[in-house]
């Protein structure tokens, strides 16, 4: 993770690598293709474009791309460079995981969300009609090239959506980061390079620590889902069109903090500080007209449900959360209603 890291990309390509496939979207390529082209100046590579958007994060485009890879000389020695937002990281990573039963991938995340989240931890995959990320594989990248300079063309709404995952990192495990985000809000929102670099580095470190302590999904990794159980319900209820993922997570964190207050897992003072920081980095699109009952009904369908019982991650204090289950339905309803209010 370093400003300017993109220029060093070629160094990470193994000498014996065969055909290199850059997987990207037209959109990302328009903004940042030239920068990658320069970084790969003396390297031969093919560019494959994915259709962007969550609707297209499906298996079908991967089959088409795998065929194209074979036609263009792809074999077991090939390498994928996934260059784009989280969708490209997930799809390009999964393509690498299954092409010829697995070839290496270099991840180059180009959104804030992808730099602090999607490209860290080795999860790859696509959506099914029945839900997000239901088909996939763990395929840890050869290297992640994280260059904050890639974010300078990112639209403001996308940037702020990524910030909520960083706020999440502060709440669940990093009190110092939480304090920094509170005190340096102007620097962060105006994208001052040293502020951006700092919060990315801290978030990447946090997620790396959590996922390396247990590569597969279980207890510690579950804290990363703070705000996500509620957030996923909101995304699904609004057909993934009204909120960006990070915005839904912002709302979900609010609901999770309310739930923590209702079950007395967190002090009123810490809860207030959490609500404040979520507000200060807002606003998110309006939640008007969304029925609490519908959101509550959707909780049970969340992928993170374990054997039928919904687990919630609630705050304990700034920098600490815990997993609870068997929470009374009425309290969950109240938390949702308060977050919608
Ligand atoms: N694997 C994981 O652990 C993990 C974790 C979190 C999220 N994800 C996945 O990540 C995806 C969301 O990622 P996202 O928020 O990055 O969305 P995205 O990939 O759709 O990118 C958001 C938008 O930004 C554009 N964009 C990307 N880079 C840009 C740049 N540098 N300049 C200008 N525009 C740019 C894209 O074209 C797109 O329109 C979801 O599918 C989610 O499931 C995966
Ligand atoms: Zn998330």
Q: Ligand 2 mean position to 172 CA, how many Å?
A: 13
Mean of pLDDT over the chain: 95
Spatial CA neighbour of 87 closest among 50, 135, 45, 142: 50
Q: Which atom of ligand 1 is nearest to the CA of 121?
A: 3
Q: CA 276 to CA 183: how far, in whole Å?
A: 12
* pLDDT at position 306: 55
**Ligand number nearest to the C-alpha of 164:** 2
258 in Cβ contact with 341 (< 8 Å): no
Site to probe by mutation for ligand 1, drawn from 91, 158, 191 as the one with most ligand atoms within 8 Å of Cβ, is 158
Q: Is the pLDDT of residue 304 over 60?
A: no
Query: What is the pLDDT at residue 218?
Result: 64
Whether 160 has a pLDDT exceeding 70, the answer reads: yes
% residues pLDDT > 70 (the chain): 96
Would you place residue 132 in the very low, low, confident or very high pLDDT band (cuts 50, 70, 90)? confident
Separation between Cα atoms, residue 94 and residue 138, nearest integer Å: 8
Residue 191 to residue 149: CA distance in whole angstroms: 10
* Residue ID of nearest Cα to ligand 1 atom 4: 118
Query: What does the pLDDT read at residue 255?
Result: 98
- Does the Cβ of 36 fall within 6 Å of ligand 1? no
pLDDT in tens, 43-67: 999 999 999 999 999 999 999 999 9
Q: Please give the C-alpha separations between residue 52 and each of 23, 49, 190, in angstroms, as whole numbers.
A: 11, 9, 27
Q: What is the pLDDT of residues 205-261, one digit of tens each?
A: 999 999 888 655 567 889 999 999 999 999 999 998 999 999 999 999 999 999 999
Q: Which ligand is nearest to the CA of 155?
A: 1
pLDDT tier at 341 (50, 70, 90 boundaries)?
A: very high
CA–CA separation, 103 and 107 (whole Å): 13
User: What is the token pair recorded at 197?
Assistant: 């670099």
Ligand nearest to the CA of 124: 1
Looking at residue 131, its pLDDT comes to 83
CA of 214 to the centre of ligand 1 (A): 24
E-strand spans in the chain?
Answer: 20-25, 45-50, 79-84, 105-109, 123-128, 131-138, 143-144, 311-317, 320-325
Which residue intervals of 174-237 are DSSP H helices? 175-183, 185-189, 193-213, 219-222, 228-237
Query: What would the pLDDT profile of 134-155 be if each residue is shown by its tens digit?
Result: 999 999 999 999 999 999 999 9
Q: Which atom of ligand 1 is nearest to the CA of 125?
A: 1
Q: Which residue has the tokens 């700034």?
A: 318
pLDDT in tens, 162-191: 999 999 999 999 999 999 999 999 999 999
């Amino acid at each position: 993770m370093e400003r300017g890291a993109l220029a060093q990309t070629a160094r990470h390509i193994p000498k014996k690598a065969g055909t290199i496939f850059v997987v990207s979207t037209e959109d990302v390529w328009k903004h940042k293709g030239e920068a990658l082209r320069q970084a790969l100046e003396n390297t031969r590579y093919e560019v494959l474009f994915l259709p962007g958007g969550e609707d297209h994060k499906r298996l079908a485009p991967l089959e088409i791309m795998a065929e194209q890879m074979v036609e263009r000389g792809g074999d077991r020695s090939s390498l994928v460079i996934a260059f784009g937002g989280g969708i490209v990281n997930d799809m390009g990573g999964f393509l690498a995981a299954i092409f010829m039963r697995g070839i290496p991938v270099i991840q180059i995340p180009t959104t804030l969300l992808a730099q602090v989240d999607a490209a860290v931890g080795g999860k790859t995959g696509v959506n099914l009609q029945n839900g997000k990320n239901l088909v996939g594989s763990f395929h840890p990248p050869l290297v992640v090239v994280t260059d904050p300079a890639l974010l300078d063309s990112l639209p403001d709404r996308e940037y702020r959506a990524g910030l909520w995952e960083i706020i999440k990192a502060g709440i669940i495990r990093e009190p110092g980061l939480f304090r920094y985000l509170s005190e340096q809000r102007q620097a962060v929102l105006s994208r001052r390079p040293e502020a951006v670099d700092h919060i990315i580095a801290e978030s990447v470190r946090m997620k790396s620590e959590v996922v390396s302590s247990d590569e597969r999904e279980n207890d510690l990794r579950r804290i990363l889902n703070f705000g996500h159980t509620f957030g996923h319900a909101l995304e699904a209820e609004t057909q993934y069109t009204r909120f960006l993922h990070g915005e839904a997570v912002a709302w979900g964190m609010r609901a999770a903090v309310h739930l923590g207050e209702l079950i007395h897992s967190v002090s009123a003072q810490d809860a207030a500080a959490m609500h404040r920081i979520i507000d200060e980095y807002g606003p998110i699109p309006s939640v008007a007209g969304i029925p609490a009952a519908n959101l509550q009904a959707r909780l049970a369908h969340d992928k993170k449900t374990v054997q039928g019982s919904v687990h919630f991650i609630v705050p304990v204090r700034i920098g600490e959360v815990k997993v609870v289950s068997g929470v009374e339905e009425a309290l969950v309803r109240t938390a949702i209603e308060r977050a919608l209010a």
